[in-house]
Amino acid sequence: MIHPIIHPLLTWYNLNKRDLPWRNTSNPYHIWLSEIILQQTRVDQGMEYYLKFVTLFPDVQSLAAAPEDLVMRTWQGLGYYSRARNLHFAAKQIVQQFDGKFPDNYNEILLLKGVGTYTAAAIASFAFNEPKAVVDGNVYRFISRYFGIKTPIDSTIGKKEFQKIADEILDKKNPGTFNQAMMEFGAMVCKPQNPFCDACIFNETCFAIKNKLVKELPIKEKKVKVGIRNLHYLLVFDINANFLIRKRDKNDIWESLYEFVLIKDDFNVVSGELNLESFHFLIKREFEPTKHILTHQHIYATFTIGLVNEFSNKVLHSFEKEPWLNANTKAFPRLISRFLEKNEVQKFIDGVTKNEI
Ligand code: SF4
């Protein structure tokens, strides 16, 4: 049976959908890029990155062959860097395991690194019209309100229940367009805050509006616990305007990105490989702490600029010496790249090169 929301929803979508580049293609590589980029990212921010990626890496082969630093650098500023590492890994997977041809069905797409059930359903339905229902945050919200589902959307049982409803109402003839319409409707009309209920095409049949539960739905079970982390970085230059960086190899959100010398708030060296005496640096500038907000963490970072005559071998054993001129070729966490954009750092370098410091 065709669900009664299908026809009005598709009509609404055809009249109101935003013109987004990944909607005008059935190229699975482009759809995959857009889906990974848009996870936890706003469309307006994601657009710039999508266009950068398709320009620099027009096909899966070019992405697979790209140096890791270039992929990370292109991703810089988007956050959640594991997405970029997985994207790169999965591109190589496609080249090696699928002979360079993007897998064309849900089960095989699911084998790609970083691709979960949601993304696999999106690619399979948008690119190959496979009847798989996509349930993203927008769809959870719309289903919860329209059908009056009070099961928490972040519970195991809730995920199953919402998926079942989405599978039942899916337009099996046009699954790709229907999925996009559901997501777009949740994003544009049935929004998290102040949804447009007055103008909504479903306001006569929606459970939440009839029962005054729009603000209460959907329900979430868990509150995100936010941790506090203090980081202190030293940006140490020599008199030839080289500075010290290191590629993070820790298995964390900033893996494969570069950083300066990282010390803790108590001025103990984090790595344990160095102590501050190794540097004999002159502190030239200390900056006010900056705050960086992640979903699970608030990071307070301070930066200190120091100057040394030259780097000792011991220091160079653990860090790379990089000319300041090359700073913009390295991928840093957003926290650091924002700091580097400050004019103060450049002023300091100018002073060093003119021997004014
Ligand atoms: S009436 Fe309001 S709550 Fe119900 S589907 Fe429309 S926008 Fe969402």
Q: What is the pLDDT of residues 308-326, one digit of tens each?
A: 888 888 888 888 999 988 8
Which residues have C-beta atoms less than 6 Å from ligand 1? 142, 145-146, 189-190, 195-197, 200, 202-203, 206, 208-209, 214
CB within 8 Å of 61: residues ≥ 6 apart: 95, 100
Based on the number of CB atoms within 10 Å of its own CB, is 269 exposed (0-12), middle (13-18) or buried (19 or more)? middle
Could you tell me what percent of the chain has a pLDDT over 70? 92
CB within 8 Å of 288: residues ≥ 6 apart: 302
241: alpha, beta or left? (left if phi > 0; alpha if psi -120 to 50):
left
Looking at residue 173, what is its pLDDT? 95
Residue spans in the chain of domains classed CATH 3.90.79.10? 227-353
> What's the gap in Å between 51 CA and the centre of ligand 1?
33
The atom number, within ligand 1, closest to the CA of 195 reads 7
* Top mutation candidate among 9, 214, 215 for ligand 1, by most atoms within 8 Å of CB: 214
Q: Is the pTM of this model over 0.85?
A: no
> What's the gap in Å between 188 CA and the centre of ligand 1?
11
Cis omega before residue 195 (within 30°)?
no
Looking at residue 317, what is its pLDDT? 86
> Residue 53 in contact with residue 74, Cβ under 8 Å?
yes
Interatomic CA distance for residues 197 and 201, integer angstroms = 8
Q: Is the pLDDT of residue 2 over 50?
A: yes
Looking at residue 229, what is its pLDDT? 82
Residue nearest to atom 2 of ligand 1 (CA): 197
Give the model confidence (pLDDT) of 193-247 as tens digits. Answer: 999 999 999 999 999 999 999 999 999 987 778 888 888 888 888 888 889 999 9
Which segment, 177-181, 264-268, 289-293, 324-328, is predicted with the most confidence on average?
Answer: 177-181
**Residue 88 CA: distances (Å) to CA of 65, 113, 157, 254:** 9, 9, 33, 15
Residue nearest to atom 5 of ligand 1 (CA): 146
Q: Is the pLDDT of residue 269 over 50?
A: no
Looking at residue 267, what is its pLDDT? 43
> What's the gap in Å between 190 CA and the centre of ligand 1?
5
Residue spans in the chain of domains classed CATH 1.10.340.30? 6-210
The per-residue pLDDT of the chain, averaged, comes to 89
Collapsing DSSP states into helix, strand and coil, what is residue 253? coil
Residue nearest to atom 8 of ligand 1 (CA): 190
Q: Is the pLDDT of residue 255 over 90?
A: no
CATH topology of domain 6-210: Endonuclease III; domain 1 (1.10.340)
> What's the gap in Å between 108 CA and the centre of ligand 1?
36
Looking at residue 212, what is its pLDDT? 97
Interatomic CA distance for residues 142 and 86, integer angstroms = 30
> What's the gap in Å between 184 CA and the centre of ligand 1?
13
* Top mutation candidate among 12, 205, 209, 212 for ligand 1, by most atoms within 8 Å of CB: 209
Q: Is the pLDDT of residue 353 over 80?
A: no
Q: Which of 35, 161, 184, 259 is catalytic?
A: 35
Query: Based on C-alpha coordinates, what's the Rg of the chain?
Result: 25
* Top mutation candidate among 12, 16, 189 for ligand 1, by most atoms within 8 Å of CB: 189
> What's the gap in Å between 141 CA and the centre of ligand 1?
9
Looking at residue 189, what is its pLDDT? 98
Give the model confidence (pLDDT) of 90-129 as tens digits. Answer: 999 999 999 999 999 999 999 999 999 999 999 999 999 9
- Annotated catalytic, 35? yes
Q: Per DSSP, what are the bridge partners of residue 286?
A: 304
> Residue 181 in contact with residue 12, Cβ under 8 Å?
yes
For residues 39-68, give the mean pLDDT. 95
The atom number, within ligand 1, closest to the CA of 206 reads 4
Q: Which CATH architecture has domain 227-353?
A: Alpha-Beta Complex (3.90)
